[in-house]
Amino acid sequence: MTYYSGKDGTLTYNGSQVAKVSNWSISSTVDALETTVLTESDRSYVPGLRTISGSATVFYYDSAPVSLLERVVKATVVSESDILVIKLGWGIKYIQGNCIITSAELSCAVGEVMQASIQFQFTGAPTGVAL
């Protein structure tokens, strides 16, 4: 029996581990397509499309978050070459998939360590899951 905590968490992109990750989260949802017909008294559904998205916060230590930020914050247009393989790990467990960085936010405030927040969207099914 093992508990997991923040010290077990990792975030890697294209095989490289991102340093100074403060937190990450991931969410998976499935659309419920309604199939209720006129003669039924209870709603019925079938599973529809799945959406997996997540977010992460990285302290701006040296250039730790740059590789993620530069997929969105750059002079050139965002293209399919900016799709990353992101792997969220905890211990030996992980969720991995092809992702598009959908949001990159930098914040700098008095009395706080500068940090970058990113949000990402999985494209396609996860390429690896070990829960």
Binding site residues, another protein, CB under 8 A: 33-39, 46, 48-49
Phi, psi torsion values for 41, nearest 5 degrees: -105, -5
Shortest Cβ distance from residue 122 to another protein (Å)? Answer: 17
Measured from the CB atom, the residue of 37 and 77 that comes closer to another protein is 37
Shortest Cβ distance from residue 125 to another protein (Å)? Answer: 13
Cα–Cα distance, 124 to 97 (Å, whole number): 8
Shortest Cβ distance from residue 37 to another protein (Å)? Answer: 4
* Of the candidates 79, 68, 75, the residue with the CA atom closest to the CA atom of residue 119: 68
Shortest Cβ distance from residue 124 to another protein (Å)? Answer: 14
Name residue 130's beta-bridge partners. 94
Q: Is the dihedral of CA 116, 122, 126, 130 positive or negative?
A: positive
Measured from the CB atom, the residue of 46 and 75 that comes closer to another protein is 46
Contact 11, 25 (CB under 8 A): no
Measured from the CB atom, the residue of 8 and 34 that comes closer to another protein is 34
Measured from the CB atom, the residue of 27 and 39 that comes closer to another protein is 39
